[in-house]
Structure 1
C-alpha cells in the first residue's frame, strides 16, 4: 500500500511538473505593431480611400476593436501610458518634452516586466517617443532611423535653410522618391524587425515594431503615391463646430514647421489635397511593411504561438475642421485602430470579428500580462482577454482622455461610444471654464456643440456623470510632472 501511495505521489508530481512546463511553453510571443499618427481609417474600418490589404488581413484573423481610444492625443504621453498601464494624469506627464524615467524611476514598464520574466525584449523603430527611455529594459534597442530626404529639390531646400542660419531645420512636408521600400525609414524598420525575428526565433520575445508613418513628413516611395489618384480625394469641411470651446483645437504648428507649407489658415484646396494624398501613400507604405514582418513570422513558424497587437498612439486630422495633426480631445484625434490576433488550437478562437466594446490603449498592459500569466503591477487599465474571447461581452460604460492647454487648463473628455462630452477645467481647482457635447453615432466628425441645449439636457447630464466618475470635481489638482521646455 505504501509503495502504491509513493508511486501515485510520484505520478502526481510528474503530472504537475509536466503541466507547469506545458503552461510555460504555452506562454506566447508578443508582437506589437505600434503606429504613429494613424487614425481609424483603414480598409477594415470601412475606409473608401485607404488601401491597406495587410492590415485588413490581420483584422480578418483576429478581433478588431471599433471603439478604442487613446489617453492623450500626442506621442510621448500616449506611449508612456501604453507601456506602463498608467494614464497621463497618473504619471503627470502631458508633453513630448519629458522622458518617463526622468520623473518615474520605479514605475514598472512592459519591457521591464517581461524581461524579468525571462522574455527577450526588443524595440525597433519608434516605441517610446524618447529613444533611450527605459533603455536598460530592452534586450535589443535597435537604432531608430531619422527622417530621410532623397530628392534634389528637398535637399536643396534644406541646405538653403541651414545656410540662412535656421536651427532644427525641417525639410518639405512630403516626398515621393522612386526608391525601394528601405529607401525611407519604415522600410529600414521592417528590415530590422525581420532581422530580430530571425535572431530571437528560438526565444520567448516581446517585440515592439514602431512604424513611423504616417507621421510627418509624408515621405514614401513613389509606388505608394501611385496607388492613389490625387484628384479623387475629397476636401473635408473646413468648418469648425458651432460654439466650440475657443481652445479646443490646436494651431497645428507641427505641420507649419515644415518647409513649403503656407502660413494661411485654413490651407488652400490644392495643398490640402496633396497632403491628404501623402498621408494615404504613407499609410499604404506602412501597411506593406506590416505585411513583410507578418510574412517572416509565418515563414519562421512563429505565428502559431504569437499574440499580435496592431495599434496606434492616437488619431489624426488631415484637414477636418480646417485643422491638422492631433493635439486635441476631438473624436478623430482620440479614437484609434486596435486589432488583436492570436492563433491557438482552440476552435472557439475569435477571428474576423468586430467588437464595439469601449476599450483603451491603457488596457494593453494588463491584457499582455494576463495572457502571459504575470502578476500585474498597479495599473489604470484592465485585461481585454474577456472581450477577446467574447467580443460581444458587456464592457465599460466610458472611455476617457485628457489634453492640457499649458499648465493652467486641462481638457477632460469622455465618450460612451456615441456621445463625447468634454470639460475644460482649471488644472488646480477643477473650475469648469467651458464644456462641449458632440454626437458621434455615425461619424468621427461633429459640427455643433450641443452643450447647454435643452433638447440634449438628459444626455449631457448622463455624460457629465460619466466624466465625473473618472475626473471628480472635488478631486486633487491634476499632477504636473513635466519638465519645462528649455
Structure 2
C-alpha cells in the first residue's frame, strides 16, 4: 500500500474527495505530553481558557488513560484502535506498517469514505517522520523532525543538543505550534470554500521538552508558584525500583546534569515553563476554534482533543513519562459533538476508544477489528455508568525505547475506579516478579504500595488476574465484570 501511495505522490494524483452533504466533519486535536492539568480538570492555577471553554460546551472524560506512556506506542494504539501488544509497537523504532501493512488507521478510514483528510503537525510518531502517508488524502504538514525548528534564540542548540527551555520575544508563528495553528486555519478556509467533508488533525508539539515559547506566556506565571511539597517528591512507599527511571529524557538537555541531583531552582523553572507551554498551545487551539465558529463549520464538526500520555513534573521522584503510574497514564479527553449536551463523565475509559467512537459518530464501520469500545452510549446517556478498566504497559530498562537494548521486564498495569495494580513480568514469564497495588480513592497519585496487605487481598487477586489475562491477550476476560 505504501508503494501505491508513493506512485500517487509522484504522479500528482492525490485523492480529490467530492463534496458529500450532511456528513460530520472531524477536527482532531492532539497535544504532546499534556497531562490533565487544565482549569477544566480542576487545576485553577493553569491558564487554559480555550480548552476550558471547549470542555464547558463539550463532553469531558475525567478518567481517560493511554495504553503506553510514550509517544509512538500510545499514538499507534489510538490511531489503530489496538493495544500495544496487538500492534507490536512498544518502542520508538518499530513502525506498525512493518507488522501490519494493510491495517486501516482512523484517518485512513475517513479517507476511504471520501473525506478530505490531512494531518498538520505531530499525529503519528516515528523516527523517520510523524506521519503515515497512506492514511491521508493529501500531504501532511510539519511532519518530520528535519522540518521542525525547535529553538529561536541563536546558540541554544549545539551539536544536536539544546537547552531544556527557551523564552523569546518572538511571535507565536515563529514557533512550529504557531505555524501549525495558521496552517489548520488555512485548511478550514479551503474545505469550507470547496464544500468538502473533512477529517483535519492538528498535532501540537508542546508542552513536550524542550519547553520553548514566547515570553508573554512565561510572564503569566511565577516560578515561586511551582515548588513541590516534600511529600509529593517522594517515591511511593514500598514501590519496587523497576517502576522508576533516572530522568533520561530530561537529562538529554545541555543545562541538566547527566546524573545526580538537579538544581531546585531549575526544576521549579521547568515546571513554570511546562505550564507556560500549555498556555501557549491553548492560545493556538483557541485561534482554530474561533475560526471554526466564525465560519459556521462548528455546527457540523465533531471536535476531539486528547493528550497522548500523562507526565511527571518531579512528583514521585520522576520527571516526564515512561512509567506506569497515574501521572504517566492519565490523559485529557474532550469531545464536542453537535447536538449533544455538555457533561462530565467519570467512567474509566481508554484512548483506543476514540477510534470506534468517531467511527460511530460518523456512521462508518471500521475496516478491521478494533479493541476499543465506542463511548457514544455514555456520551448520549448520562446515567450510563459503564464499569470499565483501563490497561497500560511499559518496559524496563529505559533504553529499550530506542531499540538499542532488549527489554528484560514488561510492566502491565490496570486502573479500576479506585485502585491501580501493576505487575512487572520478566519477558515470557507467566507470573509477575514485582507487584504494586495502590488505593487511589482519596489520592491524586500513588502513595503506598499495599499489595502485601491482607485488607486488600481480594482486590489484589482480582486485578492481578485481569492483568495476566490482558498480558495473554485474553481481553474479554480482562475487561469482564
TM-score by structure 1 length? 0.86
Shift of 1:99: 1.9
Match of 1:92 among 88, 105, 110: 88
Is 1:138 aligned with 2:129? no
Shift of 1:399: 0.9
Per-residue Cα deviation, 1:276-332 (whole angstroms, up to 9, x for no partner): 000000000000001000011112110000000010100000111221110010011
Per-residue Cα deviation, 1:320-356 (whole angstroms, up to 9, x for no partner): 1221110010011001000011122xxxx221x2101
Shift of 1:78: 0.5
Structure 2: distance between partners of 1:325 and 1:33: 21
Shift of 1:133: 4.0
1:123/1:473 CA distance change after superposition, 3 Å: closer
1:356-435 aligned at under 5 Å gives the runs 356-376=346-366, 377-405=368-396, 406-435=406-435
Shift of 1:266: 4.3
Structure 2: distance between partners of 1:75 and 1:443: 26
Per-residue Cα deviation, 1:137-163 (whole angstroms, up to 9, x for no partner): 212311335143222xxx32534xx3x
Stretch deviating more after TM superposition (409-418 or 443-452): 443-452
Per-residue Cα deviation, 1:378-426 (whole angstroms, up to 9, x for no partner): 0010111001112341213311111112433111100112110000112
Shift of 1:427: 2.4
CA contact (8 A) 1:266 1:322 kept: no
Is 1:462 aligned with 2:480? no
Is 1:197 aligned with 2:199? no
Stretch deviating more after TM superposition (382-391 or 440-449): 440-449
Structure 2: distance between partners of 1:102 and 1:468: 27
Per-residue Cα deviation, 1:193-238 (whole angstroms, up to 9, x for no partner): 1111111122111111001110000001000001101112232532
Partner of 2:107: 111
When Rg is computed on C-alpha atoms for both structures, the one with the higher figure is: 1
CA contact (8 A) 1:238 1:266 kept: no
CA contact (8 A) 2:122 2:142 kept: no
Match of 2:151 among 149, 152, 155: 149
Partner of 1:267: 262
Structure 2 portions without partners, runs of 5+: 1-19, 397-405, 476-481
Shift of 1:111: 1.9
1:65/1:157 CA distance change after superposition, 3 Å: closer
TM-score by structure 2 length? 0.87
Structure 1: distance between partners of 2:439 and 2:474: 27
Match of 1:223 among 216, 221, 233: 216
Partner of 1:481: none
- Segments of 4+ in structure 1 off by > 6 A? none
Root-mean-square deviation (CA), in Å? 1.7
Shift of 1:53: 0.2
Structure 2: distance between partners of 1:307 and 1:473: 32
Partner of 1:102: 98
Is 1:207 aligned with 2:197? no
Partner of 1:10: none
Structure 2: distance between partners of 1:67 and 1:391: 15
CA contact (8 A) 1:101 1:133 kept: no
CA contact (8 A) 1:410 1:427 kept: yes
Is 1:43 aligned with 2:39? yes
Structure 1: distance between partners of 2:369 and 2:452: 38
Is 1:355 aligned with 2:345? yes
Structure 1 portions without partners, runs of 5+: 1-23, 163-168, 476-486
